[in-house]
Structure 1
Amino acid sequence: MIRTATPVDIDAIVQLHTEARATYYRGHLPEEEYAGAAEVGRSRNGWARAIDRPDATVLCAERDGTLAGIAAFAVRDGVMHLTQLHVSPSHWRTGIGTELHTACVDAWRQAGVDSARLEVFVHNTRAQAFYTDRGWAPDPDHPRAGTHLVLRLTVS
């Protein structure tokens, strides 16, 4: 089931977000930068703000009453941004990422969005393949932002 997140979801969202990020940052960044107390606190504040923002959407994917995936998107500088899409590693390859992605794209279509942008860590080749399989391509104007590749999707 895909549903809109509420403040009650914050603890589970932060746990899932931290767990998922560790899978691609481990070995590339110091642990405190993705799983340290300060970073987890920053993450908690960011997710809480996103849930409360009227111009942002945070989606949760549940399986058997447990949070299995999360996605967030918002318009920044006039462009739709997929800011987060994470699936709990214990639920990888079960279709949750595809369901969340489809829910995001469907919402964008309903809102009349014609393109979206995202950033993906250069070493996260699993996510890069996921997005490429769904039609995302390097942003021709800004293909990279620091340690992240920038991808665009034409929403049709």
Structure 2
Amino acid sequence: MIRIATLADLDAVTALHAGDSRADWAEAVERGGALCAWLGDEIVGAAAYEEHGDAVVLTRFRVSPAHRRKGMGRQLHTGCVDVWRADQFTHATVEVPAGDACALAFCAVQDWVPAPGAPRSGDRLVLRLTLTSEPE
């Protein structure tokens, strides 16, 4: 199940990735920009995003190592896209380390493409996901 993250979820969400701080996740949760993925009674994934006009920036996307490659990332991503479309955002961006083949492959399967005009930010690739239907 995918749902909006709450302050009660912070410990479990922060534990998904050793480099994440509770304060960063708390900020995302408090502004309503975080989702969590549940399997039974356990949080197995979380995503955070920031709104920028008609776009969103995916700032964090975490799935517990024990639950990777089992469809949880896809479900969490679908939950994000559903929320973003319901909120009428036109596109999303994310920065992915250029050497992270697993993350890049995941993004490609989810239809993220290099962002026009800004495909790199240092050692990271900037990817874009269109959330609206393109005119035919």
Aligned mates of 2:29, 2:81 — CA distance in 1: 19
Worse-matched range after superposition: 140-149 or 87-96: 140-149
Q: Deviations over 1:26-60 (max 9, x none)?
A: xxxxxxxx4xxxxx5xx21111111111xx42111
* 1:11 correspondence with 2:11: yes
8 Å Cα contact 2:55-2:90 kept in structure 1: no
Q: Deviations over 1:73-118 (max 9, x none)?
A: 2213653111111111100111111111111111111111121100
Give the TM-score normalised by structure 1: 0.79
Q: Which runs of 5+ in 1 are unaligned?
A: 19-33, 35-39
Equivalent residue in structure 2 for 1:47, among 25, 42, 49: 25
Matches within 5 A, 1:1-156: 1-18=1-18, 34=19, 40=20, 43-53=21-31, 56-76=32-52, 79-156=55-132
Aligned mates of 1:9, 1:83 — CA distance in 2: 18
8 Å Cα contact 2:54-2:89 kept in structure 1: no
Aligned mates of 1:8, 1:66 — CA distance in 2: 13
Aligned mates of 1:45, 1:115 — CA distance in 2: 27
Give the TM-score normalised by structure 2: 0.89
SS where residue 75 of structure 1 aligns? Answer: strand
SS where residue 141 of structure 1 aligns? Answer: coil
Q: Which runs of 5+ in 2 are unaligned?
A: none
SS where residue 12 of structure 1 aligns? Answer: helix
SS where residue 17 of structure 1 aligns? Answer: coil
Q: Compute the RMSD of aligned alpha carbons.
A: 1.4
Pairs aligned (count): 132
Which consecutive aligned stretches of 4+ in structure 1 deviate over 4 angstroms post-superposition? none
Question: Which one has a larger percent helix, Structure 1 or Structure 2?
Answer: 1
